[in-house]
Structure 1
Amino acid sequence: MANGTLHSFLKNKGRTLSIDERLKLVHGIGSGLEYLHSLSVFHGDLHSGNVLIDEEQNPRISDFGLACTIGKLQPGLSYLQRLSSTSNVGAVRWAAPERLSGCKPHPSGDIYSLGCIMFEVTTRP
């Protein structure tokens, strides 16, 4: 993507971003996550390094290496693993506390990670 990862985008352009631009990023990531969850997909490793920013500063969730399905498998998503007890929690800084204590992946973990991203986007200079 034209603007790299969200992490690098904030590092390079964070000081010039308005609150409206920051809220647009947060809203886009939240909408993307809502869409994934509507397809019964749990990302499992959502963090600012796994969000890409396109040329119009729209966020794009990427890296589905730890993604798994929740409930009924949607058509076309058979390459994703079923929800399992995988011990890989992904990026620890953005992982829900219950994942660090060995609990199974759950959609609420994505919501916790989204909250961490929201904090990062709205507070990073």
Structure 2
Amino acid sequence: MIGFGFGMASNATSHVAPQSETTTAHAATLTASQKKQIATINAGLSKTQKAAKNWIAYRESRYSYTARNGNCYGRYQLLRSYLHGNYSAVNQEKVANAYVAGRYGTWTNAKRFWQAHHWY
């Protein structure tokens, strides 16, 4: 089952994550170039979709691009095999968007699934 490992072992919390794209931990470690690339990758997402994506990132890794949990890695706890050895923040953003689009259609649908199952 594709994506089964995404967040499976994460602890579910009832904390409300900040919804701001700029209120993220570890953002200071990104270069200006990476921030620009990530902004471009996410430019097609609505404010609501960005908020849902941020919500998932908070629960999966507390926004960390280097979080590790078994075979899952990064901000969205993607299976390492999905990242094809490229663990960069930019690649994580691209792969996460592609995964969610393919499996759920939207980040809001992925968030709903996460709320019901505590993984996505």
Q: Same fold (TM over 0.5)?
A: no
TM-score scaled by length of structure 2: 0.28
Pick the structure with greater CA Rg.
Answer: 1
Normalising by structure 1, what TM-score?
A: 0.28
Q: Which structure has more strand as a fraction of its residues?
A: 1
